[in-house]
A and B are shown apart, each in its own frame.
Chain A
């Protein structure tokens, strides 16, 4: 395996979500919860303490009828790279319970090492991290339907989207047995990507020109991974979090809603990071 890693260039798994295609159906959220054994409460009405690794936000342009427009924005963990793996959450975790993989670009969460200080949650501007306020309890019989590949989380630890990392592990093992040097694009896809009926989500290696996500996003490594696609933007790009989720939209107000701008600033303006 060492030999294989030495010769394989690092991957950078990421996602492109076309907001003009997203209908807000929520299939991605459901698929994510089922795939990753995400626990739920009897009453899920309080969204401030329920767990949704992938949450769909409803955005509006705040204009009166007939100019009203809405947009649904699915928000998984953004798997921020920051500068050199200095993600907002990874850098603050005191117990190294979350890590940025230079092999895959995935931000991991080690549940058994997390002691629940929640500093990572304070650091994440996307609210992509969730705390287990309760012990996970599934309705009678449902525990038989849990995925054996994903460990359920205990009360008192933080969890978040892993880009279905267990699927990557399975695909990697299969590729190794098949004698493949790399994991094929189709062999590793996240549950939300496969569940989206509109095909709004594209997932793959942003470093690999053969992957569709690379072709859609056209990331510019010279400018911190900023997309060359004029329809693309990243959430809160100006903070310097360097996320790997790219959103696409032809609507200017949607692209502008992805970041904070002063009144006179153009959409897409990126300031020099301060850190």
Chain B
């Protein structure tokens, strides 16, 4: 392979043509998304199906969902570096990469979503410290910087870059101080995940979203942080499983996966209990206090019914929690993947409800439900980060030692390739391909 010098030692990768073909296919989807993005930037948000009732729509949902799903990065980092769950070092690289993709995607979507993208910096310059969105912007940007710092040493571990003494030492030293960044990341994540929950929770003009809380923070602030920590690892594990299926290799040992799955299970369980308490209080005290009932929010329209509460709390809350807590079920790959999938759907559904249903519910008694479907430009720009994420994973997986256990779990049997490897290493002056 013409790029064999860049491929980590002791692992095998698909032929170059196959890699490029894959990149090309995903790249075509990416180009479609970029075209839609340019349409939105040059022609304006009239390219979307948003309207004055749906100021927040598919994009804001995608933002909230991918940030929650990217929560696996901060929570795994917290568990490994602060709590001391050392086994997680075998999956932390991938959690960081997934987090990096999620957060960079979220920032990109926000840049498309605002009506005047060139004024995006006003949120920092003219910051209103009372706005939850200001807190989101600051913490999100800072945490993205932390994720970048966490991703850099991984890039520097590329076989060729690592040969440069400066990069080698830089990477080593960054690894040494990673606990500081993990702690910073967890701190920042607590606030931006929370403030994303606060975005809806502070809307006292919208009884469906509004929650009381502690000091300046509505209960949704804490629920969002909790759910991101609970469901984020589900996404990390699900993407790991998908990567294993695509590469047809075992990449992470079962004990690592099961440990993270178990912690995620307990987090989902405790989160679901908190969510039930929050829903009960909201339904019985907050909403009637404002002259409304649950019926107002879950009937009288074609989409939003009581099924959402069941899906969020039982099907995608208690069910995955029980599967992941129970050792026999958790150790069964099929049940485990079902639980991970339900978890990912659950947190995405929660974010949908806290954005889209908030917009849909009428508040004035003489107003009506407003339903919405996205335009193709909105769909394409939402798929854009997905394509970008797949491409970044493909490139990172091919050239960086993302999975430390890969070589051990997938030993290369052919002696010839081992001999070539050995010779390559012993003749550093020559290009490996020539050797």
Contacts and interface: CB of A to CB of B under 8 A. Distances in A.
Contacts of A122: 55-56, 203, 206, 358-359
Given A95-B123, A115-B122, A275-B212, A239 B205 contact: yes
A48 B205 contact: no
Interface in A125-164: 125-127, 129-135, 154-158
Interface string B130-144: 111110010000000
B179 interface: no
Interface stretch (B152-160, B307-315, B362-370): B362-370
Contact of A94 (B50, B128, B206, B364): B128
B interface, size bucket: 35 or more
Interface in B344-386: 358-359, 363-367, 370
Contacts of A125: 205-206, 363-364
Contacts of A57: 366
Interface in A85-140: 88, 91-97, 113-119, 121-127, 129-135
B45 A274 contact: no
B205 A236 contact: yes
Interface string B288-318: 1111110010000000000000000000000
A43 to B, nearest CB: 13
A88 B116 contact: no
B145 interface: no
A135 B127 CA distance: 26
Contacts of B51: 46, 48-49, 133
A191 B364 CA distance: 25
Interface in A18-77: 46, 48-49, 57, 59, 73
Contacts of B119: 95, 113-116
B210 A275 contact: yes
B187 interface: no
B114 interface: yes
A43 B202 CA distance: 36
A272 interface: yes
What's the dominant secondary structure at chain A's contact region?
A: loop
Contact of B44 (A121, A156, A262): A156
Interface in B77-129: 113-117, 119-120, 122-123, 125-128
A229 to B, nearest CB: 21
B207 A239 contact: yes
Contacts of A275: 202, 204, 210, 212
Nearest to B54: A48
Contacts of A156: 44-45, 114-116
Given A95-B122, A115-B120, A125-B206, A157 B115 contact: yes
Contact of B46 (A82, A134, A235, A241): A134
Contacts of B176: none
B52 interface: yes
B36 interface: no
A257 interface: yes
A119 B131 contact: yes
Contact of A95 (B46, B52, B128, B132): B128
Interface residues of A, number: 61
Contacts of B114: 115-117, 156
A65 to B, nearest CB: 20
Contact of B52 (A59, A113, A127, A154): A127
A122 B46 CA distance: 18
Interface in B35-60: 44-46, 50-56
A239 B131 contact: no
A260 interface: yes
A261 B45 CA distance: 37
A260 B365 contact: yes
B291 A271 contact: yes
A183 to B, nearest CB: 29
B370 A94 contact: no
A118 B115 contact: yes
B45 A240 contact: no
| Residue from the set A131, A157, A274 with the largest chain B CB neighbour count within 10 Å | A274
A114 B117 CA distance: 11
B116 A259 contact: no
Interface string B224-251: 0000000000000000000000000000
Contacts of B207: 239, 260
Given A132-B115, A134-B46, A88 B127 contact: no
A92 B245 CA distance: 45
A218 interface: no
Interface of A: 46, 48-49, 57, 59, 73, 82, 88, 91-97, 113-119, 121-127, 129-135, 154-158, 235-236, 238-241, 256-262, 265, 269, 271-275
The 9 closest A-B pairs by CB, nearest first: A116-B115, A156-B115, A118-B55, A260-B291, A125-B205, A121-B55, A48-B51, A115-B119, A88-B205
27 contacts: A48-B52, A49-B52, A59-B366, A82-B204, A92-B133, A92-B203, A94-B133, A95-B123, A95-B126, A95-B128, A113-B122, A114-B115, A115-B115, A115-B116, A115-B122, A116-B115, A117-B113, A119-B131, A123-B203, A124-B205, A126-B363, A131-B115, A133-B44, A155-B115, A156-B44, A156-B115, A239-B207
